[in-house]
Amino acid sequence: MQFGIFTVGDIAPDPVTGRTQSEAERIRNIVRIARRADELGLDVFALGEHHNPPFVPSSPPAILGHVAAVTRTIVLSTSVTLITTNDPVKIAEDYATVQHLADGRLDLMLGRGNTGPVYPWFGKDIRDGVALALENYNLLHRLWREDVVDWEGKFRTALQGFTSTPRPLDDVPPFVWHGAIRTPEIAEQAAFYGNGYFANHILAPNFHFKPLVDLYRTRFEHYGHGTADQAIVGLGGQAFIARRSQDAYAAFRPYFENSALFRGSRLEDFASGTPLSVGSPQEVIDKTLTFQEGFGDYQRQLWALDALSIPIEAALEQVELLATEVVPVLRRELESRRAPGVPDAPAHATLVRAKYGDAEPRQPRPNPNRGDNLSGDSPYQDSDPKVSARYPAL
């Protein structure tokens, strides 16, 4: 099972000190957190996508490309990539590039996000949200698996003889999770393709999203990808940890009470009634074990540790407590409870092995028979006089 952290990159005044991080600080601190998670042996670092204040990660591929260069083993992901308002061609290009830079340490979580105004900012209609998610992923799926794509849909211009570059590393696309907390169609989509389903259940009552997870499991089996117990499930969460429970509550309380997300709520009630984990390492362990009891065996657990303007020093301490005090126990406990036949989350190496066995993976290269999507001419055909005239620098 994989354990890791995710960040949404929010900025707000610190209610204790009154200080607000600059955008430059926040971006640098995201990288510091990712590096520390990698050093301490966590499995996953995931970055959200937002295009509005008070958030800074409007370009996750840029940040993740840098993180890939300064980390060694941690898997990079998103939480989420907006499949509705991003062009699937650009998603295919950007994340195949990051996959190469990370030497395969990349997967992708797709979703519709939670910011309504983002749709018109990118020329889309929120009323088309579900249809956009379904159509855009269908195209992304094909772009990563077919060298040459002919495609026509409702929401973007048609493609004729189009090749997305670079091709995925080893010709094996990044594994995809579909993140959703309210839409059966997305659970159905994840099941249809045999992809993962991620329920980021941090703000809802405990096990509120179990019906969607159960639907995904049932449909995963229906489509022949394995049994319901073998479906690939991920869960989100939020935690604040201290050596002593009372210290965790005292330190976290001002951040909780000053957040618009929780305003008017009582911290103790929220920590009891939702997946928010506040307390000692053992309390966080105990709370997380209830997720397995309620949702069944699952493959990925992520926590938000740096939200709500928590200072970087405290966030780094959270990463250390999680990695050294919480995760080692959870690894042992959840492994001992896991039913036979439940798979791990797919990784690049396992996907390559499943596709090629002991054979060498295919390494795609520019193909002179592929056109430029306009004229059919290729800049690689140097011997063609017409091409030489069009591309005199070649």
Cβ neighbours, 10 Å, residue 337: 12
Q: Please give the C-alpha separations between residue 239 and each of 181, 280, 354, in angstroms, as whole numbers.
A: 19, 10, 35
SS3 163: coil
Reading the block at residue 208, the tokens are 């509120």
Geometric angle at alpha carbon 76, from 9 and 291, rounded to 5°: 80
Q: What pLDDT does residue 325 have?
A: 98
β-pair partners for 197: 178, 233
Which DSSP string corresponds to 314-359? HHHHHHHHIIIIIHHHHHHHHHHHPPTTPPPPP-HHHHHHHHHTTS
The half-sphere exposure of 151 on its side-chain side, counting CA atoms within 13 A, is 25
Q: What pLDDT does residue 381 have?
A: 42
Q: What DSSP designation does 232 have? A: -
Question: Is the alpha carbon torsion for 285, 291, 296, 301 positive or negative?
Answer: negative
Divide the 394 residues of the chain into consecutive groups of 10 and give the mean pLDDT of each group: 96 95 97 98 97 93 98 97 96 98 98 86 94 97 96 96 96 96 94 96 89 98 98 97 98 95 92 96 98 97 96 97 98 97 96 96 74 49 39 35
Please name the residue that has the structure tokens 């959703």: 180
Cβ neighbours, 10 Å, residue 51: 16
Residues in the chain: 394
Domains of the chain: 2-369 (3.20.20.30), 370-394 (no CATH)
Query: Of 57, 61, 66, nearest to 95 (Cα)?
Result: 61
List helix spans (H) across the chain.
23-39, 60-70, 88-101, 118-121, 129-143, 184-193, 210-222, 245-257, 267-273, 281-295, 312-321, 327-337, 348-356, 385-390
